[in-house]
Amino acid sequence: MILSNSEGLAGCDLLRGLVFWEKPNSEIRTRLDAISEAPMDFQELALDLTGLTVPDEIARVTFSALAAHSKELGEILKRPIGIRTAALDLLDRLESRLREDGVVQEPPHENLVHMAFVDYLTGLPNFRSLSERFENEIKRATRYGRLLSLIMFDVDGFKAINDRFGHLAGNAALKHVAGLLRGFVRETDVAGRFGGDEFMVLLPETPKHIAEGLAADIQALICATPLRLAERGLLPLTISLGMASFPRDARCADTLMAEADGAMYSAKRAGRNQVCFARPRTSARLSHGPFATQRYESVHVIGDFNGWDRSAEPMIWDPPKSCFSVELFLAPGKYEYKLLLNNERLTTDPNSPETVYDGFDGRNSVLRVFS
């Protein structure tokens, strides 16, 4: 691998990214085997496989060297060599050369552990760290009947930024977004880089109506805070976001992720620079009445799907039917709820035949939503 010292540092980052980025070995192997078969955008390949943007030539040299090194190791050892094993060996050789030239020093053990869970470009939790936290939060929410909201977003036109302004601008854009995100999220939230130009925000104990506002605030913050590039001035950035909540939009980790991701792509298809929210295909209509006249000033539905928030789900007065009603879009499952009358009196729903003990010497109505 013939690279200058500065280029060698970028090559080290790419190899390190292959080791720590969460792409399956089989996918990395397939993508690298295809290098000699057809013209390739190496900058885009680097972003996809490592989460980094680097000059096309450095990516080409590094990945070509890795493919050759993997083949050479297999011939020497007379057995197939894992692509990450080959990347680690090549990384060690490249770093040894740079250490001899005084360019880098031996990283301490704690730095290596840090690299496994923190994205080396943005300093945010990486895919591995986010995945573990997400699984744990879903398990906690499921076991204890808690809430969890998830925001997914990516940078609009990110490839165009790299193509027009160069890889350094692409990296600066990701760092800029990460910095704004880090300063915005609450202490109990978890924000990280999910992959490439995609970010994830985990919002424990956060109902959907609150998460909707937070997602809109993140979108407005990025839009209102352009990136300042040396010698190029201000570069406006926008993002497309998708949001979904447990349990009302999904009842398991895979489905919640799919709903948030699908909502994000809906935002991109709708024109970008906006937020789209997951909406289950199933729903339930609740009503209170009928009454001869509008007996109450307000009726709200509060339940385990909205954090028992007294203002989250207002019923609307329907004059022709002389009743209050609301349609709730909920994923299939069992939910508990009460009616709040005039913002002061809680009662079970007289139209619901099923109730359960609420833990406070009272009863909750039960709502079952079927697919």
Contacts of 83 (CB under 8 A, 6+ apart): 18, 25, 28, 29, 32, 66, 70
Domain that holds residue 322: 283-369
In this structure, the answer to whether residues 79 and 178 fall within a common structural domain is no
Kindly state whether residues 260 and 290 are assigned to the same domain. Answer: no
337 in any annotated domain: yes
pLDDT of residue 216: 97
pLDDT of residue 113: 54
Q: Are residues 174 and 233 in the same domain?
A: yes
Any idea how long the chain is? 371
Q: Which residues are catalytic?
A: 197
Domain termination residue (choose one: 40, 75, 106): 106
Question: For residue 351, how many C-alpha atoms fall within 13 Å in the half-sphere facing its CB?
Answer: 13
Query: Is residue 109 within a helix (H) or strand (E), and if so which, with residue range?
Result: helix 109-117
Share of the chain above pLDDT 90, in %: 63
User: Structurally, how many domains does the chain consist of?
Assistant: 3
Q: Tens digit of pLDDT for each residue in 268-277?
A: 999 999 999 9
- Residue 69 dihedral angles phi and psi, to the nearest 5°: -65, -40
Q: Which residues of the chain have pLDDT under 70?
A: 1-2, 5-6, 103-116
Same domain membership, residue 133 and residue 14 = no
In a domain, 117, yes or no: no
Same domain, 290 and 363: yes
Look at the alpha carbons of 165, 52, 214, 329 in this order and tell me if their dihedral is positive or negative.
Answer: positive
Domain for residue 119, yes or no? no
**Which residues have CB under 8 Å from 86's CB, separation 6+?**
66, 69, 70, 73
Bond preceding residue 280 cis, omega within 30 of 0: no
Structure tokens at 114: 């840090």
Rounded CA separation 45/319 (Å): 60
5: which DSSP letter?
H
In a domain, 120, yes or no: no
pLDDT of the residue at 204:
96
What is the pLDDT at residue 109? 44
Query: Among residues 221, 256, 277, which one ends one of the domains?
Result: 277
Measure the N-to-C terminal CA separation of the chain; round to a whole number of Å: 57
Domain assignment present for residue 112? The answer is no
Same domain? For 207 and 226 the reply is: yes
State residue 243's pLDDT score: 98
